[in-house]
Structure 1
Amino acid sequence: MVNKLLLLCALLIATNTPFANDKCTEGSEFEPALCPIRLPEITAIQIQENGAKAAASQDQNVDCSDFKLDAKQVQRFFSLAMEADERDAHYTLDWSPCYASGTLTFADGKTAHWSINRFRTGTLAIDDVTRMFLYCPKCDFKPFQ
């Protein structure tokens, strides 16, 4: 009886992990594990910075002026992006100092601050409570590289 209980507990634990969910990927040497995000309907997109360069960039030759997103591209990014563990992504994905940022308003009244960079990663902070790190491997449209 104890073995059956242990097996049942192990099965329940395994099915509640993100990797047991067939909608999540396991990740690899070149890409972190990714899980789908479920956001409320986006009702408004504001772009506050576009073609911006992160202060952390030491390279004076980097020009970010051609990395500009419009509202449709921001909407498309969030419809295709997947959530990743930020620590895993740090080791597997490239970083770009070029970014755009702004705010989203959702149908449920919540707001979020977003940032998206040239190499298809981004962050989303909903009501300053929930923070997600996102990656969009399917965002192969301009201006992404």
Structure 2
Amino acid sequence: MGYLYAWLISFFFIVALLIIIVWQLMCLADLEFDYINPYDSSSRINRAVLPEFIVQGVLCLFYLGTGHWVMSLLSVPYLYYNVNLYLRRQHLVDVTEIYNMLKWEKKQRLFKLAYLIILLFLSMFWMIMAALDEHDYE
């Protein structure tokens, strides 16, 4: 039953990451359509960046701790990209350059969204397999 709970917890971590990324994309879309000013948009996005990085790091460590090596290896490129952005101090959106970087920021987050959707489907697959294995032992 432990494997099922581990996959369920990882599923919720990935869903939390998806919510954070979609929130950032909504803020960028609001800025693009001029529903919000650049200062509010960048401050909302910047408030969500560090929680995204922390949840991704915890998810990768969770996969390592539970022994799901393949999923951990699949999570490492995303974690590496986030750490690299943080170390180069490019993780925050600059309010003065947000219009110039709008297309790049949207592409970046759409790529993250696609990557997380793939991880979500893999996590759901392994969660279903773990549930079926538990059902076979009963």
Provide the TM-score with structure 2 as the length reference: 0.26
Whichever structure has more strand as a proportion of its residues is: 1
Whichever structure has more helix as a proportion of its residues is: 2
Provide the TM-score with structure 1 as the length reference: 0.25
